[in-house]
Structure 1
Amino acid sequence: MGETRAKIGTWLGFLLILVWCLLPVVWIISLSFKGPTETAAGSPQFLPKEPTLQNYSDIIDNPDFKDSLINSFGIAAISTFLSVILATLAAYAIARLDFKGKRLVLSIALAIAMFPVVALVGPLFDLWRTLGLFNTWPGLIIPYMSFTLPLAIWTLSAFFREIPWEMEQAAQVDGATSWQAFRKVIVPLAAPGVFTAAILTFFFAWNEFVLALSLTSTTQARTVPAQLSFFVGPDPFNPPYGQLATASVVVTVPIIVIVLLFQRKIVAGLTSGAVKG
C-alpha cells in the first residue's frame, strides 16, 4: 500500500512539473495560430477561435528574419566547431599532462565563463569598431568562444580523466603515434563528452542576446534573438504578438530536433562519472 502511494505521488509530482514547464510552450504555440484581431483582444482565449497560418507565412516571407536565421546557424555552427576542437586539445593536455598551474588554469577558465556579459559590451563595442569587427560574424564568434571554451574545457577534461591511461599506452605499443592514439582511441571514447560540449556550446551561441544586439547594427550579422526585438509592428502599443510567438516556435524547432537526434549521447555525457564503482 505504501509503495502504491509513493508511486502515485511520484507520478502526480511528475505531471505537475510537466504541466508547469510545458504550459508556456503550449501558450506560445497557440498564440502563433491567432490572428492580429484575436491577439489584440483584452483577454484572449487560450485556444485560437479561428486558427490561421498567416503568421507563419509572414515570418517565412520576412527577409530580415531569414537573414537572421542564416546568421544564427552560421555563427552558432562555427563557434561550436572551433570551441570543441580547441577545448578537446586543451582538455586532453590538462587531463594527461602534469604541469605547474593546472588548477589555476581551470580556475581562471571557470572565472571567465562566469564573468557577466554586460560588463564586456562597452569595451567590446569600442574595440570592435576600431578593428572593423563590428557588425560581422567574427565579431560575434570571438566573444561567443570566450564564454563557451571554458565550459567545454571543464566538461571534456572530466571525460579524459576517466579514460584509462593504459589504453593509450597499448595503442602506442602497437605502433600508433601519440597523435594517432589520441585521434583513434581517446577521442572516440570521449565521444559523449564531445557531444555534450558541442550541444552546450551551440545552445549558448543560438540563444545569446546581449552581444548579438550590442555588437550588430544590421541583419548582416544580427542573429534571431536580437532580430526579434525589432519586431515592433506599426503600433508601438500593440506589438505583433502572433508573429513574435511564431518566430519563437520556428527558432525552437532546430533545438528540439538536435536534442531528439542526440538524446542518448547528451544523457550519457551529462551522467558519465556520476556513479563510481
Structure 2
Amino acid sequence: MRTWFGRAGFNLLIVFIILYSLFPFYWVFKSSMESSIALNQPTSSLLPQQWTFVHYRAIFAVENFLRPLLNSMFVAGMTTIISVILGSMAAYGLARMPIKGKAMILGFVLLVSFFPQIAMVGPLFLVFRHLHWLNTYQSLILPYLILSLPITTWILTAFFSQIPVDIEEAAMVDGASITQTILKVFAPIALPGIFTAAILGFLLSWNDFLFALSFIQSPNMDTVPLALVNFRNAYYVHYGQIYAGVVIASLPIALIVLFLQQRIESGLTAGSVKG
C-alpha cells in the first residue's frame, strides 16, 4: 500500500510539473486565438470566448512575417551546418589524438560559450562596420558561431570519446580508407551526438535577439525575435499578432524536439556512463 501511494504521489507530481511548464505556452496559444477586444478586457478565461485566426492572417498579410521566418531559418541553418562541420572535426581530433592538457582545452572551449553576449556587441559592431557587414547575414552567422561552436565541440568530444576505437581499426583492417571509415562507419554511430549538437546550435541562433537588434538595420533583414518586437506602432502594441508570431516561431523547435527526442537524450547523456 505504501508503495502504491508513493507511485501515485510521484505520478501526480510529474503531472503537476508538466502542466505547470506547459501552461505559459497554452496561455500564449489561447491569447493568439482571441480577438483584440477580448485581449484588452481586464479579466480573461481559460478558454477563448470566440476562436479567431485574425491575428495569424494579419502577421502574414500585413506584417509579412514570412520574411523574418525565412531569414531566421537561413541564418540558423547556416550556423548549424558550419558549426557541426567544424565542431565535428575539432571534436574528432580531441577525442582520438593523444593531446596533452585535453581537459584544460575542453574547459577553455566551454568557458568561451559562456562569455557574455553584451560584451561582444561593441567590438563586433566596430569590426562589421569597418567591413561593411552591418545588416547582412554574415553579421549574424559569425556571432552565432562564437556561441554555438564551443558547445558543439564540447558535446561531440564527449560523445566521440565513447565510441570504441576498435570499430575504426577493424574497418581499416578490412581495407577501408580513413575517409571511408569516418563517413561510413564512424559517422552513423555518431549521429545521436551530432543531432544533439545541431539542435542546440540551431536553438541558440533561432532565439537570439541581442545580436539581431545590434547588427540588423532594415525590416527586410529582421529575424523572428526582432520582428515580434516590431509588431507595434507609436500608439498601439499588437499583442494578438505577437502571440500568434510566438506560436508560429515555436512550432519548428517543438517539432524538432518531438521527432528527435530519443537522439537528443542519447546525445546529452554521452560521457555520463563509461563502459
Q: TM bucket by the smaller chain?
A: over 0.9
Q: 1:15 matched to which residue of 2?
A: 15
Q: 1:40 matched to which residue of 2?
A: 40
- Does 2:115 match 1:115? yes
Are 2:68 and 2:223, in contact at CA under 8 Å, matched by a contact in 1? yes
For residues 44 and 217 of structure 1, the distance between their equivalents in structure 2, rounded to whole angstroms, comes to 37
Q: 1:146 matched to which residue of 2?
A: 146
Structure 2: unaligned runs, 5 residues or longer: none
Give the C-alpha shift of residue 64 in structure 1: 4.0
Give the C-alpha shift of residue 157 in structure 1: 0.5
For residues 242 and 220 of structure 2, the distance between their equivalents in structure 1, rounded to whole angstroms, comes to 21
Are 1:83 and 1:145, in contact at CA under 8 Å, matched by a contact in 2? yes
- Does 2:80 match 1:80? yes
Q: 1:94 matched to which residue of 2?
A: 94
Structure 1: unaligned runs, 5 residues or longer: none
For residues 235 and 111 of structure 1, the distance between their equivalents in structure 2, rounded to whole angstroms, comes to 44
For residues 57 and 259 of structure 1, the distance between their equivalents in structure 2, rounded to whole angstroms, comes to 27
Give the partner amino acid of 1:259: V
Q: Give the stretch that moved more between structures: 62-71 or 245-254.
A: 62-71
Give the C-alpha shift of residue 119 in structure 1: 0.8
Give the C-alpha shift of residue 219 in structure 1: 2.8
Structure 2 counterparts to residues 205-224 of structure 1, below 5 A = 205-224=205-224
For residues 23 and 233 of structure 2, the distance between their equivalents in structure 1, rounded to whole angstroms, comes to 26
Give the partner amino acid of 2:37: T
For residues 168 and 235 of structure 1, the distance between their equivalents in structure 2, rounded to whole angstroms, comes to 65
Are 2:79 and 2:144, in contact at CA under 8 Å, matched by a contact in 1? yes
Are 1:64 and 1:219, in contact at CA under 8 Å, matched by a contact in 2? no
For residues 234 and 209 of structure 2, the distance between their equivalents in structure 1, rounded to whole angstroms, comes to 24
Are 2:161 and 2:271, in contact at CA under 8 Å, matched by a contact in 1? no
Aligned residues between the structures: 275
- Does 2:124 match 1:124? yes
Map Cα deviations across residues 152-195 of structure 1 (whole Å, 9 max, x no partner).
11100011111111111111111112222112111111111001
Given the superposition, is the C-alpha separation of residues 220 and 98 from structure 1 closer, same or farther in structure 2, using an over 3 Å criterion? Answer: farther
Q: Give the stretch that moved more between structures: 79-88 or 100-109.
A: 100-109
Q: TM-score, normalised by structure 2?
A: 0.95
Give the partner amino acid of 1:270: L
Q: TM-score, normalised by structure 1?
A: 0.95
Give the partner amino acid of 2:39: T
Give the C-alpha shift of residue 53 in structure 1: 0.9
Q: SS in structure 2 opposite 1:175? A: coil
